[in-house]
């Protein structure tokens, strides 16, 4: 490679964006060319200084407490719309309270919140695999119980992976599936736990369905329509059976 | 969620130039991300989210401009560390203190230099150096070709190198 060719690529070289062939070519050139070697050293020095300078802005703690749909509604729009949104949330809460006991409402909401968090989290899955032979042992190790992990790949659904989640102070296995454009969180925990099967319901466009299978309680949460989710649940339950 | 939010907040700060707007931007961007989650294709949620943050921050800046407010204030960038601990800079401890030492003057000079970069150069630099995005991801976030990302990054680094050289020249 000529000096001109190399010098155009040095930033990409420092950023490790080049393929092995180009990288090797530049490595050779750097051994012979003082100017380019010095340039690379200077770039690396700059990067080290940027890292050392810690110029990254640190997030204020209140921002990390961003969680559920209630908060999102507050930030949805300015002024009167925000007030209206808050009022709507209260109205909805009242509606739900009329329908269920506050305890079951809480439980649905907690599952919806956990689902919502997972959508934006880098922690949607802690173990990424569509193979139940990988996911199941991971749960067993992490949670001290080993839930069924059906792959559901017979009709185009895909298991994306799993994570451990904490809902109502109970550690649960959460499996994430992709169904078309929708993500589904399937929470599984031992039946003997203090948290029972959720009653199911709708909250802010999300749907919760409960199920029970062989010593485990199950909750499914997704934004797909309730009928579709019910079909998904039945398939999940059918394939989860040993 | 924290790593995403931290990246989102950092970028929003550097684009909007003040913590209040940056917070609003992050909240609003999360809301949008939520609303448009169905549009998300592919597997790079972090890059997708940062793209939304960037666009939200740019609109916020446009609103500021229209309202006659000067959005990016270098003084703020230079003074944040000392004025309010909450806004102190840096989100992780230095990896290896022995690896490189940097003086306070150098930090101030770097911060000023980044604040003075053109917005299109600054965002590329922030995404690469502080958030470790690949060229391809940065191209997707900023909606520009990879070649443009490369040349902007080069120019931003040239400028910072020049500033740092001046700084060391003044204080040998």
Question: Could you state, in order of their start, the residue ranges of all structural domains in chain A?
Answer: 3-53, 100-240
Total tally of structural domains belonging to chain B: 1
Q: Which residues from chain A sit within 8 angstroms of residue B166, using beta carbons?
A: none
Q: Which residues from chain A sit within 8 angstroms of residue B102, using beta carbons?
A: 49, 52-53
CA distance A12 to chain B (A): 7
CA distance A145 to chain B (A): 25
A100-240 belongs to CATH 3.40.50.1820:
no
Question: How many interface pairs between A and B have CB atoms less than 8 angstroms apart?
Answer: 137
**Alpha-helix residue ranges (DSSP H) falling in B67-170:** 74-83, 104-116, 119-129, 135-142, 146-170
Please give the average per-residue pLDDT across A165-187, as a whole number.
88
By Cβ distance, the residue of B34, B46, B161 closest to A46 is B161
Asked whether the beta carbons of residue A72 and residue B107 sit closer than 8 angstroms, the reply is no
Q: Is the ipTM of this complex over 0.85?
A: no
CA distance A52 to A148: 47
Q: Which residues from chain B sit within 8 angstroms of residue A48, using beta carbons?
A: 99-100
Q: Which residues form the domain of B113?
A: 2-170
> How much is the pLDDT for A37?
95
pLDDT digits (tens, 9 = 90+) for A74-102: 444 455 555 555 555 555 554 444 443 34
Please give the average per-residue pLDDT across B111-135, as a whole number.
90
By Cβ distance, the residue of A15, A75, A223 closest to B28 is A75
Tell me the CATH number at B71.
1.10.10.10
Q: Are strands A127-128 and A201-203 parallel, antiparallel or unpaired?
A: unpaired
Structure tokens that stand for B168 in this block = 């060391």
pLDDT range class, residue A1, cuts 50, 70, 90: confident
Q: Is A41 on the interface with B (CB under 8 A)?
A: no
Please state the pTM of the whole predicted model: 0.54
Please give the average per-residue pLDDT across B91-120, as a whole number.
69
> How much is the pLDDT for A83?
54
By Cβ distance, the residue of B9, B92, B110 closest to A57 is B9
- Which contacts of B69-76 are long-range, i.e. CB under 8 A and separated by 24 or more positions? B71/B16, B71/B17, B71/B18, B71/B21, B72/B16, B72/B17, B72/B115, B72/B119, B73/B17, B73/B18, B74/B112, B74/B115, B74/B116, B76/B17, B76/B18
């Amino acid at each position: 490679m000529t000096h001109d060719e190399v010098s155009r690529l040095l930033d990409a070289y420092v950023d490790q964006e080049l393929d092995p062939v180009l990288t090797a070519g530049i490595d050779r050139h750097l051994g012979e060319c003082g100017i380019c070697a010095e340039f690379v050293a200077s770039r690396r020095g700059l990067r080290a200084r940027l890292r050392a300078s810690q110029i990254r802005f640190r997030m204020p703690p209140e921002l990390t407490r961003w969680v559920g749909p209630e908060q999102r509604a507050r930030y949805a729009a300015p002024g009167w719309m925000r007030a209206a949104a808050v009022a709507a949330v209260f109205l909805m809460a009242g509606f739900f309270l009329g329908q269920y006991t506050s305890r079951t409402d809480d439980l649905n909401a907690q599952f919806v919140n956990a689902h919502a968090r997972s959508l934006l989290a880098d922690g949607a899955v802690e173990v990424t695999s569509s193979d139940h032979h990988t996911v199941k042992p991971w749960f067993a190790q992490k949670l001290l119980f080993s839930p069924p992990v059906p792959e559901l790949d017979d009709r185009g659904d895909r298991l994306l992976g799993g994570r451990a989640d904490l809902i109502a102070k109970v550690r649960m296995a959460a499996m994430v599936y992709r169904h078309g454009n929708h993500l589904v969180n399937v929470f599984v925990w031992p039946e003997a736990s203090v948290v029972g099967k959720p009653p199911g319901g709708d909250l802010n466009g999300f749907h919760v369905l409960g199920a029970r299978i062989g010593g485990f309680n199950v909750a499914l949460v997704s934004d797909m329509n309730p009928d579709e989710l019910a079909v998904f649940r039945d398939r999940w339950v059918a394939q989860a059976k040993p | 969620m924290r790593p995403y939010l931290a990246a989102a907040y950092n970028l929003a700060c550097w684009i909007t130039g003040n913590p209040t707007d940056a917070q609003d931007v992050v909240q609003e961007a999360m809301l949008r991300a939520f609303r448009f989650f169905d549009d998300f294709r592919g597997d790079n949620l972090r890059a997708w989210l940062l793209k939304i943050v960037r666009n939200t921050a740019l609109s916020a800046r446009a609103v500021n401009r229209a309202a006659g407010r000067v959005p990016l204030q270098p003084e703020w960038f230079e003074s944040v560390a000392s004025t309010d601990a909450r806004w102190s800079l840096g989100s992780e401890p230095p990896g290896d203190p022995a690896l490189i030492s940097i003086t306070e003057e150098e930090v101030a000079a770097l911060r000023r230099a980044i604040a003075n970069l053109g917005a299109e150069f600054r965002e590329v630099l922030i995404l690469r150096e502080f958030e470790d995005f690949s060229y391809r991801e940065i191209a997707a976030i900023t909606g520009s070709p990879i070649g443009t990302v490369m040349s902007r990054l080069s120019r931003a680094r040239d400028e910072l190198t020049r500033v740092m050289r001046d700084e060391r020249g003044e204080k040998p």
